[in-house]
Amino acid sequence: MVNREFTVENDPRILFGKRLAKIRKELGWTQEGLAIESGIARSYLSGIERGKRNIALINIYKLAQTLKIPVKELVDI
């Protein structure tokens, strides 16, 4: 879905995707490992990291729990 409300610089999906990919790599997780452990489909996780998905709260929470970080750290966008 095209969303004209945001630019590349301020689109929360893009900001979150970059943030997630950065933290995931820093903590030594592969995309596949994080997908399996969090119960989120690998293809969906890939879309989130590429800023293509409007991730909802429960999945944000699952990712934070799997990464063992506070939700607020993950959404520091």
Contact positions toward its own copies, by CB under 8 A?
3, 12-13, 16, 54-58, 60-61, 70-73, 75-77
Give, in order, the Cα–Cα distances in Å from 49 to each of 6, 15, 17.
17, 9, 4
The least CB distance from residue 45 to its own copies, in Å, is 14
Q: Which is nearer to its own copies, 19 or 42 (CB)?
A: 19
Are 42 and 31 spatial neighbours (Cβ–Cβ below 8 Å)?
Answer: yes
| Token representation of residue 15 | 């900001």
The least CB distance from residue 57 to its own copies, in Å, is 5
